[in-house]
Chains A and B, each alone.
Chain A
């Protein structure tokens, strides 16, 4: 799965080492080519850190993300 696009992202706070981030995602719709569109937020405890107006993720064959022989050498 490939994270493709994030739009309308609003950052409300900062995370720090040791924080446990909770991501709450709502599946908005499944679009063309199996692309999924999600809205959601990231929280640390009762503090909301980020709001995502729209995230798009797609699936691609595994080889598409694998490093080339040159890259992995």
Chain B
């Protein structure tokens, strides 16, 4: 299992105030966890800080699942997970 994916799961879980095991790869943050735009911004900000990235705000709309977050972050970070 990708270490990066698990790190992102920890970040998302902390922001959404869930246990990491409750955050599945494909659950929709809004529909399944009732996340709002502020939580999305916070998730993105934490990811940027942790990995030293600058991800365009336009990507926020696509970052609706853990898998989507991982795929987008991987693209900007150059991960080969």
Binding site for B on A (CB under 8 A): 4-5, 29, 31-33, 35, 37, 56, 58
How far is A58 from B44 in the complex, measured between Cα atoms in Å? Answer: 14
Size band of the interface chain B makes with A: 10 to 19
Q: Are A32 and B38 in contact, with the CB atoms below 8 A?
A: no
Question: Is B19 in contact with chain A by the CB < 8 A criterion?
Answer: no
**A56 contacts B48, CB within 8 Å?**
no
Closest Cβ of chain B to A3, distance in Å, is: 10
Give bound CA distance, A33 to B41, whole Å. 7
Q: Are A33 and B42 in contact (CB under 8 A)?
A: no
Q: Which residues of the partner chain A approach B49 to less than 8 Å between Cβ atoms?
A: 29, 31
Which residues of A are found within 8 Å of B60, using beta-carbon distances?
Answer: 32-33
- On chain B, the residues within 8 Å of A35 by CB distance are 41-42, 45
Q: Give 20 pairs: A residue, B residue, CB < 8 Å, sorted on A.
A: A4-B38, A5-B42, A29-B45, A29-B49, A31-B42, A31-B44, A31-B45, A31-B49, A32-B45, A32-B55, A32-B57, A32-B60, A33-B41, A35-B41, A35-B42, A37-B45, A56-B41, A56-B45, A58-B38, A58-B41
